[in-house]
Structure 1
Amino acid sequence: MKFLIDAWDFSQNPAKAITNDDQVQARPGCWYHFQRDIDGIHEWLKAADIPEPLIDAMLEEDTRPRFQRLKDGFVLLLRGVNLNDGAQPEDMMSLRILYYKDTVYTFRKHHFKAVAQIRDDLSRQQGPESLHDFLVHLVEQLNQKIEDVIDDIEIGVERLEAEGFDNTAAQQQTLTTLHRRLLRLNRFIRPQLAALDKFTSESEKWVDSELHQWLLNERDTTQRLLEQIDLMLEQVWMQREQIQQAVAEKMNRNTYWLSVIAGVFLPLSFLTGVFGINIGGMPGVENASAFEIFCWVLLGIAVVEFLLLRRLRFW
């Protein structure tokens, strides 16, 4: 069965891998991990007596994090960061979890490093010891991968805050990228917190107190990650405002100096324009020293204007 990625039997301790062949059948106390976009999975799930609406919910293309309680279990839809080569981590991937009649089914479309970590731990006999423990480990691994990505973004935000405003164009572009990444994470982590909150509340009825406390800790971790994202969104917004203010101040300063220069040269331009009229009656036309005298007069006017502007504290 190409759609079955992995299967483990938790009815024994440590958990034992189930051979992936055509004889694999769903049975209680096991975990089955599927590639949901391969033909044949629908028929296999139907043969496992899973209701048609649940199969459709597990195989539909677009989902958002949510928790739904069932008569014989629950549906938990979560999102994890995309750590595959060439992918953007903030493009979060969907992981569908179906707990039905004491059997766990998980469905993916892309490779999940969080799930792969659990499978590696199980192969070394260091992984979860029960299906309930597996669910706690899965939420923990998803949160850990998300936290690593958020920490990388936080380092980028702090690096920008430590820089000056010499290259505002590049900083604006970097801030836009960070802002977009944070918004994509926030889009799924916020409903994921609500789903985990319901899941944790319901788990108190069927898991022991220790595992329930671990789930509470992971719910709190998700809450902390969401608060961290909100804080960084505020930091990005404040940094953007500071950059815009620095750009505005720079433009105002340049405009101010251009105004000062224009003010100095305005009377000089007026005089040169008047004496540039090539008509009869212009003074100094017959005097060989007229041009030199005129230049000294212009220089004197410029000095007087400079001293006047300094006295009036224009700078």
Structure 2
Amino acid sequence: MARFLNNKDQKAGMPPGSLVFTGQHKISEPQIRVTEYNSSDLEETALESVTDIPECPAQTKRMWLNLDGIHDAEVIKKIGDSFNLSPLVMEDILDTGQRPFVEDYQDQIFTTLKLLIAGSPEQKVFTEQISFVLGENFLISFQEQPNPTFDPVRKRLMKHKSKIRNYGPDYLFYTLVDSVLENYLKVVEVMGERIEDLEEEVTDEPSKEHLESINFYRREIAYIRKAIRPVREIILKLNKLDSEFIAEETLVYMKDLPNMIDQALDSLEIYKDILGDLFTTYNMYMATRLNETMKFLTVFSTIFIPLTFLAGIYGMNFDFIPELHYKSGYYVLLCLMIAIAIAMLVFFRKRKWI
């Protein structure tokens, strides 16, 4: 499946609002976790069935419903019916190829972002879609699979005196978005360290493997930029929303989020320039090495040109050539020719010309 644009064949020809999952099944069964809390009480429950979803809490409590595994359209529809979600919202939740965006509906705010997943240096960076629905006294988050990104937020939520417990679901929404942006910075930092290590290696002595690594990281940087560049627009739009679901106190904290996106994008631009410089350095090094090789071969050829010229004129037409009378002279000469060819190949290999 293409990383820059998901396959849309499953939805081709279907009307808007059709609940069709597009993406990969990353867990076998959806997992639903409901957290109801206020400043003094907190109750967290792992639901066994989507039919166990509680109703929207009263004004005295807030609810955070998290769904891991969005491949089951029936589960999404059940949650949507319970919280009066728009069919277009449910459709966007199921479409993992969505570009990050935010939409302000009359009774809720819908936001979808990309979470970056970075493995070993040899592995590609992949994204997972995370969607949020913010409403009155509740927040719903949809993830493709369980992820530790929100674990620090859960730990803060457990503390009685934390701001999350004393503020509304809009502040919880802010902390979750902040965790996603911190994830961007961590992944960019990891990629940056790998690129800087590559820079030192290329500076010492470039090789064909380094060229492959340069092209690999150039593709990864482009993929990361595609995932996080739209998020700046989302954050700016959230800061300008005139919505009853986001309090003025929360907007104060949200105003710092664009700086995190700018930092990530600036770093990506720097690493993109570094990779461009490394590519130029590699080409210059290879051109210089080719010139040195051609210089050696030119000198080598120049030495033998006059010898070949003399042999071409006189040939081997001498009366006294002792080697002609050797019984094994032909085989000795043949072995000598093979030995010279092998020695030259070894020499060229040692000099890394071939």
Alignment TM-score, normalising by the size of structure 2: 0.71
Counterpart residue number, 1:237: 276
Please list, as runs of the form range in 1=range in 2, the aligned pairs for 1:139-158 lying within 5 A after superposition. 139-158=177-196
Please list, as runs of the form range in 1=range in 2, the aligned pairs for 1:168-183 lying within 5 A after superposition. 168-183=207-222
CA-CA distance at 1:188 after TM superposition:
0.8
| Structure 1 range deviating more: 13-22 or 175-184 | 13-22
| Structure 1 range deviating more: 194-203 or 134-143 | 194-203
Counterpart residue number, 1:190: 229
Are the structure 2 counterparts of residues 161 and 25 from structure 1 closer, same or farther at C-alpha, using a change threshold of 3 Å?
same
Are the structure 2 counterparts of residues 203 and 112 from structure 1 closer, same or farther at C-alpha, using a change threshold of 3 Å?
farther
CA-CA distance at 1:50 after TM superposition:
2.2
Are the structure 2 counterparts of residues 86 and 134 from structure 1 closer, same or farther at C-alpha, using a change threshold of 3 Å?
farther
User: Aligned-pair RMSD on alpha carbons?
Assistant: 2.8
Contact 1:27–1:103, Cα closer than 8 Å, also in 2:
yes
* Gap regions ≥5 residues in structure 1: 279-283, 289-315
Counterpart residue number, 2:301: 262
Q: Deviations over 1:289-308 (max 9, x none)?
A: xxxxxxxxxxxxxxxxxxxx
Q: Deviations over 1:126-178 (max 9, x none)?
A: 57233121111112111212211111111122222223342421221222222
Contact 1:203–1:212, Cα closer than 8 Å, also in 2:
no
Counterpart-to-counterpart distance in 1, 2:292 and 2:54: 76
- 1:17 paired with 2:38, answer no
1:275 to 304, 314, 318: 314
- 1:131 paired with 2:175, answer no
Contact 1:8–1:16, Cα closer than 8 Å, also in 2:
yes
Partner SS state of residue 8, structure 1: strand
User: Which amino acid letter does the alignment assign opposite residue 24 of structure 1?
Assistant: I
- 1:5 paired with 2:32, answer yes
CA-CA distance at 1:206 after TM superposition:
5.4
Counterpart residue number, 2:239: 200
Counterpart-to-counterpart distance in 2, 1:277 and 1:172: 50
Are the structure 2 counterparts of residues 175 and 252 from structure 1 closer, same or farther at C-alpha, using a change threshold of 3 Å?
same
Contact 1:79–1:94, Cα closer than 8 Å, also in 2:
yes
CA-CA distance at 1:88 after TM superposition:
5.2
Counterpart-to-counterpart distance in 2, 1:179 and 1:167: 17
| Structure 1 range deviating more: 37-46 or 107-116 | 37-46
- 1:97 paired with 2:132, answer yes
Larger Rg: 1
Are the structure 2 counterparts of residues 272 and 47 from structure 1 closer, same or farther at C-alpha, using a change threshold of 3 Å?
same
**Percent of aligned positions with the same letter in both sequences?**
14
| Structure 1 range deviating more: 134-143 or 200-209 | 200-209
Counterpart-to-counterpart distance in 2, 1:47 and 1:150: 38
Counterpart-to-counterpart distance in 2, 1:59 and 1:286: 92
Q: Deviations over 1:92-123 (max 9, x none)?
A: 11101111344211111122222233223323
Are the structure 2 counterparts of residues 254 and 118 from structure 1 closer, same or farther at C-alpha, using a change threshold of 3 Å?
same
Counterpart-to-counterpart distance in 2, 1:18 and 1:103: 14
Counterpart-to-counterpart distance in 2, 1:23 and 1:262: 86
Counterpart-to-counterpart distance in 2, 1:74 and 1:208: 13
Counterpart-to-counterpart distance in 2, 1:18 and 1:87: 39
Contact 1:204–1:212, Cα closer than 8 Å, also in 2:
no
Counterpart residue number, 1:304: none
Q: Deviations over 1:66-93 (max 9, x none)?
A: 1111112211111111268999572111
Are the structure 2 counterparts of residues 257 and 88 from structure 1 closer, same or farther at C-alpha, using a change threshold of 3 Å?
closer
Counterpart-to-counterpart distance in 1, 2:321 and 2:147: 92
Contact 2:113–2:129, Cα closer than 8 Å, also in 1:
yes
Are the structure 2 counterparts of residues 173 and 256 from structure 1 closer, same or farther at C-alpha, using a change threshold of 3 Å?
same
Alignment TM-score, normalising by the size of structure 1: 0.79
Counterpart-to-counterpart distance in 1, 2:63 and 2:115: 23
Counterpart-to-counterpart distance in 1, 2:279 and 2:209: 12
Counterpart-to-counterpart distance in 1, 2:75 and 2:198: 50
Contact 1:118–1:127, Cα closer than 8 Å, also in 2:
no
- 1:27 paired with 2:68, answer no
Counterpart residue number, 1:293: none
CA-CA distance at 1:235 after TM superposition:
0.7
- The number of aligned residues is 281
CA-CA distance at 1:15 after TM superposition:
5.8
